[in-house]
């Protein structure tokens, strides 16, 4: 497999000779205001430009949208991606949203496995921040809470677990126990809302993943881009060096990892 870090949670996964675009956030640097509910809301986002052209990014077989938050899907993606492109989503709500965006070939990934081009995709669960605290906040700002992770399985490839926008939680433990992934992608900038709750993994959460899956390659994504980050690539690199962690990979935007 090949994993190309584009920007933020936007990555390209080449798996079993099939190319997936994950969570395309394709607008130019600074085009969006910071999230009002997050820390550093005065900082515009994305903080950096894309590392390559939108045409290169969207030249894929299918798109996976883990959830429809505005740093995972935007107008630029809507306008750049062919309306008949295969789109995978987490729920009927997100399917209806993508239909309203003009797309026609939309499929909900099943937790029991969805077949596509000789591989299987499995929907996994997580918590986009502690559910009992963050879900009510999402309702207050009219933003959906739910997200998904995705497991990629094939006889020809190592098992890949894309954890998605989640903190370290029971659902992540269950996914690692069930699928025994060889490669795990974690969104790890510690994005934090105004009440101090982090809503994706921070350094402590990444450390838990490393301890839980010591033989897996752990890849840190969703770095250095959103306004409400609390962890940088440099922070993670320092942590990994201090703890002598060898299996944590921290790609820069535009880097491709071959696994």
Closest to 259 in 3D by CA, of 217, 208, 206, 214: 217
Q: Are strands 217-221 and 256-258 parallel, antiparallel or unpaired?
A: unpaired
User: What is the pLDDT, as a whole number, of residue 154?
Assistant: 98
Q: What is the mean pLDDT of residues 69-95?
A: 97
Q: What is the mean pLDDT of residues 144-157?
A: 96
Helix or strand or coil: residue 135? Answer: helix
User: What is the pLDDT, as a whole number, of residue 78?
Assistant: 98
Closest to 248 in 3D by CA, of 225, 214, 197: 214
256 - beta bridge partners?
4
Q: Are strands 119-124 and 149-153 parallel, antiparallel or unpaired?
A: antiparallel
User: What is the pLDDT, as a whole number, of residue 155?
Assistant: 95
Cβ atoms < 10 Å from Cβ of 38:
19
Per domain, the residue ranges of the chain are 2-252
Q: What is the mean pLDDT of residues 126-135?
A: 93
Flag whether pLDDT at 142 surpasses 90. no
Cβ atoms of residues 217 and 183 within 8 Å: yes
Q: Give the C-alpha distances (Å, rounded to integers) separating 131 from 110, 113, 143, 166, 196.
A: 22, 25, 14, 10, 14
Tens of pLDDT, residue by residue over 28-38, are: 999 999 998 89
Q: Please, which pLDDT band fits residue 53 given cuts at 50, 70 and 90?
A: very high
Please give the backbone phi and psi of residue 240, each rounded to the nearest 5 degrees, phi first: -65, -40
Share of the chain above pLDDT 90, in %: 94
Q: What is the mean pLDDT of residues 122-148?
A: 91
Q: Which CATH architecture has domain 2-252?
A: 4-Layer Sandwich (3.60)
pTM for this model (two decimals): 0.97
């Amino acid at each position: 497999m090949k994993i190309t870090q584009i920007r933020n949670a936007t990555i390209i996964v080449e798996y079993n000779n099939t190319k997936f675009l994950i969570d395309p956030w394709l607008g130019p640097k600074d085009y969006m205001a910071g999230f009002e509910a997050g820390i550093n809301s005065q900082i515009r986002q994305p903080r950096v430009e894309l590392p390559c052209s939108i045409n290169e990014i969207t030249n894929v077989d299918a798109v996976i949208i883990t959830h429809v938050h505005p740093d995972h899907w935007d107008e630029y993606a809507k306008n750049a991606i062919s309306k008949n492109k295969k789109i995978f989503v987490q729920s009927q709500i997100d399917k209806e949203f993508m239909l309203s965006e003009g797309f026609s070939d939309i499929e909900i990934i099943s937790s029991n496995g969805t077949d596509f081009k000789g591989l299987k995709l499995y929907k996994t669960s997580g918590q986009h921040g502690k559910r009992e605290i963050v879900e009510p906040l999402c309702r207050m700002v009219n933003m959906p809470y739910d997200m998904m992770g995705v497991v990629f399985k094939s006889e020809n490839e190592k098992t890949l677990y894309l954890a998605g926008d989640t903190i370290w939680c029971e659902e992540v433990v269950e996914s690692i126990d069930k699928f025994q992934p060889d490669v795990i992608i974690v969104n790890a900038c510690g994005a934090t809302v105004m009440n101090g709750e982090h809503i994706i993994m921070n350094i402590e959460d990444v450390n838990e993943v490393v301890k839980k899956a010591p033989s897996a390659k752990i890849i840190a994504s969703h770095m250095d881009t959103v306004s409400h980050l609390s962890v940088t690539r440099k922070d993670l690199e320092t942590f990994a060096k201090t703890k002598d962690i060898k299996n944590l990979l921290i790609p820069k935007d535009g880097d491709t990892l071959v696994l």
